[in-house]
Amino acid sequence: MSETAGISTGIAQRYATAVFDLAKEGKAIKALEADVAALDAAMTESADLRTLLTSPLYSRDEQASAIAAIAKKMKLSDTTSNLLSLMAAKRRLFVMPQLLAVLQERLAEERGEVTAEVTTAKALTKAQADKLAKTLKAQVGKTITIKETVDASIIGGLIVKVGSKMIDTSIASKLNALQNKMKEVG
């Protein structure tokens, strides 16, 4: 991890912890959850928003007024709006992607959910995803949310990451293991 990424993650974790604790104390977890989902969708869809958050060309005041207008237009909760205003005032809006990721993890943990990162060669069908979630739930003991990534280079099989555990049943990894064994022999 680069030093800048580590700093950004650290900043994001501090802000996320503070806003999560405020939302929990104020019994506003549902509002925070809706805000996080809305901001995540907005960042995915809007290149202009991503530019606003990361560009040094915008002054502190321009960022603050723009982010306040965005928060008002999106009807974000007071807690989230205040967080965004503070981040704009401190020139910390660039950590928004990391902040949203940390908040999504904390909210999932609060709901008793665990996210499983699944990499497949081709997209899972609804039935396959449900069966995988059910199997993982039996192993982990918590509700599983599947975050799927399609990567044709694994050829077939699955790579499943739940927390710090990883299960790699991909054909590509089996071929690599076979290739390494053949190198050892010859």
Q: Given 50, 74, 109, which residue is the final one in a domain? A: 109
In the block, tokens 């290149």 appear at: 47
For position 7, what pLDDT does the model report?
A: 80
The domain of 155 spans 113-185
Together in a domain, 19 and 44? yes
Nearest CA to 158 among 128, 119, 111? 119
Q: In the listed set 58, 91, 109, which residue is the last one of a domain according to the structure?
A: 109
User: What pLDDT is stored for residue 1 in this prediction?
Assistant: 47
Residues 26 and 103 in one domain: yes
Domain tally for the chain? Answer: 2
Low-confidence residues of the chain, pLDDT below 70? 1-5, 186
Do 141 and 99 lie in one domain? The reply is no
Task: Answer yes or no: do 17 and 103 share one domain.
Answer: yes
Q: What is the pLDDT of residue 101?
A: 92
Give the model's pLDDT for residue 98.
95
Note whether 94 and 9 are same-domain residues.
yes
CATH number, residue 151 = 3.40.30
**pTM, whole model, 2 decimals?**
0.73
CB-CB contact of 68 with 85 (8 Å): yes
Q: What is the pLDDT of residue 4?
A: 63
Last residue of a domain, one of 55, 75, 109: 109
- The pLDDT value given to residue 133: 94
Q: What is the pLDDT of residues 64-91, one digit of tens each?
A: 999 999 999 999 999 999 999 999 999 9
Provide the b/e sequence for 24-61 (b: ≥16 CB within 10 Å): eeeebeebbbbbbeebbebeeeeeebbebbeeeebeee
Strands, E assignment, the chain: 113-120, 143-150, 158-162, 165-168
| Token reading at 60 | 């502190």
**Residue ranges with strand state E in 14-94:** none
Please tell me the predicted confidence (pLDDT) of residue 186.
66
Q: What are phi and psi of 157, to 5 degrees?
A: 85, -165
- Residue 60 sits in a domain of what CATH number? 1.10.520.20
Query: Which tokens in the block code for residue 162?
Result: 């739940």
Angle at 47 between CA 41 and CA 48, to 5 degrees: 105
**Token pair of 146 as six digits:** 């599947």
d(CA 160, CA 139): 13
